[in-house]
């Protein structure tokens, strides 16, 4: 298969591209190499992908319509997987325009090019942040998701709606997958786990928001990648509509379009997460308890039912396994990169 993946210098894009390349697929990666965090990490990920002869890397911004169109046209992909975005819930409070440019204008460029080239399957990375502070748990794809807590979440919901309209008008099969608190090796420096590890190794206090009363449905990176690859072979159509139980499937009645959670449905309390990290690192944390940050939600909790119905699997890596693998990677790679 031929894949075009945006954001291959990013955390998720790197892991997905590497897995596909190892399996013998052809991957064209597209990344703007923005300086949202230390570029040394992105460059190291790129170097890992460049070792594969069936990888082609393109450095350009999503907003550069001509460069994006040229790259996709040259790649001639069977599947486009759009992962590139301005990430970070809290940063959207400081620089909302970055989210407008990347997550809305950049994503519109992707769906427009997919229309022009009639791509066989367009896949878009959305987020659990779309559910906001939904009081109903677990979060189901059919739940109302019209009360975003941040502009980041609003931009992702806008992307989903644009993509649905294009799927309806131009019949491009489209899957929007909503992922839940992804973590693992090669993660971003601004992610909580890496901030905690870095502070603990320096014998510094960690900052715990929401007085530690939050919970998250953590998803290990390998599980997320496995789910994306399984879903890439299931382009939405009436042929794969899930009929039972009634109301489970989000396949549109007006378009080859589906939204789907990628999460294990096993939320972990923040303090349990910290205690797991302490046990693995063999040391206690120094803690600074802080109030909930603006835009944060008290919990995330995925319903994996539709994912299981379509793929026969869901994220299963235990928190202990995932955190242990991440700590081991951090000790070997992260510190030498001086991040």
152 counts as catalytic: yes
pTM summary value: 0.96
pLDDT at 261: 98
For residue 52, the domain's CATH number is: 3.40.50.720
Q: Is there a contact between 80 and 174 (Cβ–Cβ < 8 Å)? A: no
Question: CA end-to-end span of the chain, whole Å?
Answer: 35
Residue 122 lies in a domain: yes
Average pLDDT over the chain reads 94
Residue 253 lies in a domain: yes
Give the side-chain half-sphere CA count within 13 A for 35.
Answer: 0
Query: 266: pLDDT confidence band, cut at 50, 70 and 90?
Result: very high
pLDDT, tens digit, 9 for 90 and up, residues 100-117: 888 999 999 999 999 999
Query: 118: pLDDT confidence band, cut at 50, 70 and 90?
Result: very high
Residue 280 lies in a domain: no
Residue 46 lies in a domain: yes
Average pLDDT over residues 298-324: 97
pLDDT at 95: 82
> According to the 3-state scheme, what is the secondary structure of 190-258?
CCHHHHHHHHHHCCCEEEEHHHHCCEECCEEHHHHHHHHHHHHCCCCCHHHCCCCCCCCCCCCCCCCEE
| pLDDT reading at 334 higher than 80 | no
Query: How many other CB atoms are there within 10 angstroms of residue 54's CB atom?
Result: 12
Write out the residue range of the structural domain in which residue 305 sits. 2-184+219-263+301-315
Count of structural domains, the chain = 1
Residue 195 lies in a domain: no
Residue 85 lies in a domain: yes
Residue 196 lies in a domain: no
**Which residue in 3, 36, 91, 152 is the catalytic one?**
152
pLDDT, tens digit, 9 for 90 and up, residues 202-224: 999 999 999 899 999 999 999 99
Query: Among all chains, which residue has been given the structure tokens 């080859």?
Result: 256
Residue 268 lies in a domain: no
pLDDT at 246: 81
């Amino acid at each position: 298969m031929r894949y075009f993946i945006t954001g291959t210098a990013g955390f998720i894009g790197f892991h997905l591209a590497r897995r596909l390349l190892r399996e013998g697929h052809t991957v064209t990666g597209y990344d703007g190499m923005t300086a949202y965090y230390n570029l040394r990490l992105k460059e190291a990920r790129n170097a890992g992908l460049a070792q594969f002869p069936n990888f082609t890397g393109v450095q350009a911004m999503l907003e550069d319509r001509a460069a994006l169109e040229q790259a996709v046209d040259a790649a001639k992909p069977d599947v486009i997987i759009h992962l590139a975005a301005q990430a970070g819930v809290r940063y959207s409070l400081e620089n909302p325009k970055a989210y407008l440019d990347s997550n809305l204008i950049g994503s519109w460029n992707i769906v427009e090019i997919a229309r022009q080239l009639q791509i066989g399957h367009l896949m878009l990375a959305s987020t659990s942040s779309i559910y906001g502070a939904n009081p109903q748990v677990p979060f189901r794809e059919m739940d109302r998701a019209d009360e975003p807590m941040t502009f980041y979440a609003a931009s992702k919901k806008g992307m989903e709606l644009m993509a649905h309209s294009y799927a309806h008008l131009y019949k491009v099969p489209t899957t929007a997958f909503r992922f839940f608190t992804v973590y693992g090796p090669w993660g971003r420096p601004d992610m909580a786990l890496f901030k905690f590890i870095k502070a603990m190794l320096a014998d510094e206090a960690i900052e715990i928001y929401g007085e530690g009363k939050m919970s998250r449905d953590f998803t290990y990176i390998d599980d997320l990648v496995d789910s994306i690859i399984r879903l890439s072979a299931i382009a939405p159509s009436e042929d794969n509509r899930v009929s039972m139980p009634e109301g489970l499937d989000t396949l549109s009645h007006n378009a080859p379009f589906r939204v789907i959670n990628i999460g294990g449905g096993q939320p972990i309390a923040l303090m349990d997460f910290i205690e797991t990290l302490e046990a693995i690192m063999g040391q206690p944390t120094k803690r600074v308890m802080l109030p909930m940050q603006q835009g944060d939600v008290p919990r995330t909790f995925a319903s994996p039912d539709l994912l299981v119905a379509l793929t026969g699997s869901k994220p299963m890596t235990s928190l202990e396994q995932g955190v242990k693998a991440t700590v081991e990677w951090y000790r070997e790679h992260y510190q030498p990169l001086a991040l």
